[in-house]
Chain A
C-alpha cells in the first residue's frame, strides 16, 4: 500500500508551531519580497483570502480582521519539513520525499488471512490516524494521510481526506467500491499528473471525471495523449505502475533569482546581489556534490517600465567548478556587460548549468581544473555558515550594505536554526 502524507497549509502551519496562540486562527504567509499571499491557514481560506492575492490589495483589510501576516521564513520551513520526514521513518523505511510538504511511504501489507476485508480497512484507517497523531505530537505539524494501492489513488485519497470532514484527515481507498465513489466526484484536472491543458482536451472526448477517465480505453488515450496518461488510467484502476523514488535525483540546474526591495539604476548594488545569488547557488551545488561548467546571468526590469527589458547571458566557465570566488568574479564581469545605464532594474538571477558529478570529473591535461586547496576552502566556508548561521563568512564581493536585500517586514524568528532566535518559554 502507498501512503501519501501531506502537510496542511504547510508554511502557515510552520508559523503556528512555536506560536500556539495562532493555532486555529487566520494566518497568511507572503512570497519573497512580501508581494503575494502564498499560504493560508484554514481559517484564512474560510475568510475568502485567495491564493496569490497581492498584499497591496488586502493588507489593511487583513490587519483590521486580525489576520496574522508573515514573510516567508525558509530556514524554519526547511527544518520543520526535515523533522516531519524523519518522524515518518518510524513508520516505513521506504520513503519518497515528493516535495517540501509531501512524502510517499510504502507500507507493507497489513492484511492477514484471518481478518475480514472490513477489519483490514479499519486497521488501515487506524494506522493512518496513528501516523497523523504521531506527526502532530512530535512536530506540531497537522497532516492529511491518504492510503491506497497506487500512488495516484493515494493522492486522491489524500484529497478526499482533506475535503470530506467525516474523514478527519485520513482517507483509505482500498476497495474499488470506495475509489469509484471518490473518482465519480473528482474532476480530471484534480488528478495527479493531469494538467489543465490535458483536461481541456479530455473534455473534448467527453471525459470530465476521474471515473470517466478510468473507464476509458487506455490504447485510445495513449494515441491521443501519451504513455503517462495511459499509466494514470492503470493507476486509477488500482494497478500500481509508479514506484517510490527513494533516492533524490540531483538537480540538473540550480537557479537563484530574487526581486530587489527597490528598483535600481546602479551597477554596484546589482553586482553585489549577483554575488550573493552565486554564493547561494554554489552552496546548493556543493551540497549535492556537483560541479558547474556554465553560468547564466539574468537581469529584469519591471514589465510596466517604458523601457521594459530583460536580458540574459550564458558564460562558459574555464573548467567545471564549485568555487564561489571564481564564479562570482565571472558573474560580476558579465553583469557589467549586460547592464544598460539609465534602465531601472527590479530583479536579477543566476543559474548554474551543465552540472556534473564532482566525483567523476574528467581530467584535462591542459586545464588542471579546480585545485584541492579550493575544495578545502569551500568546505570550510560551508561548515562555518552551517554552524554560525548564513553569511557568517562570505566573499567580500557580496557587498556589506545590501540595500537591495529582500523586503521581509514580517519574518518570524528562525526558532530552530539561530541561537539568538530560540523560542522563549515563560517561567
Chain B
C-alpha cells in the first residue's frame, strides 16, 4: 500500500495575511490514534498457527491487543493457557474458549483454574505486501 500524507495545505498569501482556510487545516491521519484507544495497555503481537483462520487471522498476522478492556462474550481474546499466550474466542455462555477452525476442540474454562485473560484482540492486520 502506498503511503499518502493526507494534509491540506493552504496557498501562500503574498501580503502575509493568514488565510481563513488555516482554521480548517486537517492534521494527517494517524493510524495509532485511530486503532489504539489505550496505548499504555495495548501491545502488538504476531499470530503463529492456523487455528483462528475462520476469524480471518492467519499465520504471521499482526495482532493489536488491548489489556485494559473487559473481555465480552464472542470476542477474540488472548489467554495464558499452560503458560503460553494463546488466541481464542471467548464463549461465556458455554464457559469455554473456542478456535475458529473445526480441527481444534474447545477448552472448557473450568478445567483451567489458572486461566488468565491477557487482553482482547481489537484489530488484526494482514500484510498483503511484506512491510
Contact = CB atoms under 8 A, between A and B. Distances in A.
Contacts of A20: 80, 83-85, 116, 118
Given A138-B38, A138-B67, A427-B57, A18 B85 contact: yes
Contacts, number: 79
Contacts of B48: 424-427
Contact of A425 (B39, B41, B47, B116): B47
Contacts of A425: 45-48, 63, 78, 85-87
A139 interface: yes
Interface of A: 18-23, 82-84, 86-87, 137-140, 415-416, 419, 422-427
A258 to B, nearest CB: 29
B67 A140 contact: yes
Nearest to A419: B131
Contacts of B86: 425-427
A365 to B, nearest CB: 32
A140 B118 contact: yes
B67 A427 contact: no
Contacts of B82: 21
Contacts of B62: 422
9 contacts: A18-B43, A87-B41, A138-B38, A138-B67, A419-B131, A422-B44, A423-B45, A427-B49, A427-B99
A424 B45 contact: yes
Interface in B64-90: 67-68, 78, 80, 82-87
Given A20-B118, A140-B118, A427-B57, A86 B39 contact: yes
- Using C-beta atoms within 8 Å of the partner chain, give the interface range for chain B: 20 to 34
Nearest to A25: B83
The 7 lowest CB-CB distance pairs between A and B, nearest first, are: A21-B83, A20-B80, A138-B41, A86-B40, A427-B49, A83-B40, A427-B52
A427 B48 CA distance: 5
Contacts of A21: 80, 82-84
B40 A137 contact: no
A133 to B, nearest CB: 12
B51 interface: yes
Contacts of B84: 20-21, 426
Contacts of A84: 40
Contacts of A139: 40-41, 67
Contacts of A138: 38, 40-41, 67-68
A26 to B, nearest CB: 15
B68 A427 contact: no
